[in-house]
Amino acid sequence: MRIPRQAARVAVLDPEGAVFMFRYDNEEVGVHWALPGGGLDPGETPLQAAVREVREETGWTDIEPDGTTLCFWEHDFTRVGVPVRQYEHIFLAYGPRREPADELGASQAAEGILGGRWWSPQDLSDLAEPLWPPRLPELLAAVRRDGPPATPVDLGFTPSGGLAP
């Protein structure tokens, strides 16, 4: 039985269209790349969680998603030994290209974060490891071409073993 969990993530884009992502190692899913973010705290909206998570995971206090939701998706994975079915809201934000604050290394390691980096649109499309959410290169290409979506894209459900590069 999987525990339902609500989460929010942020696609932080730099002026050239690169996106910042963290590399995770998860006991069920394995190594994959994901946007900064995480679970909602009690009483928190997805947008509030997105802002808080970016600050906690990167130290960036000036990144403010404008409320534009890129997509939703639902997936299974095991978090700290507990099987969850996570429903994620993915928001868009824009900011300068920089590295996360150095003092966050221990807290990132506790979350299974192996490191982070900026991905150019081309590099992201060529990535051989799985991405959370799936179809991220396609979604960000549409944002660069057409602007933010008028309505969020619903990516549906992806089982834990269904993540492909």
CB within 8 Å of 27: residues ≥ 6 apart: 78, 81
CATH number, domain containing residue 83: 3.90.79.10
Residue 13 domain boundaries? 3-150
Of 41-55, 95-109, 114-128, the range with the lowest mean pLDDT is 95-109
158 in a structural domain: no
Of 33-42, 95-104, 123-132, the range with the lowest mean pLDDT is 95-104
118 in a structural domain: yes
Rounded Cα–Cα distance for residues 18 and 150 (Å)? 21
Residue predicted with more confidence, 77 or 162? 77
State the pTM of this model: 0.93
Give the per-residue SS3 of 137-153.
HHHHHHHHHHCCCCCCE
Mean pLDDT, residues 36-42 taken together: 96
Q: Tell me: the pLDDT tens digits for 113-136? A: 889 999 999 999 999 999 999 999
Total number of domains in the chain: 1
pLDDT of residue 104: 61
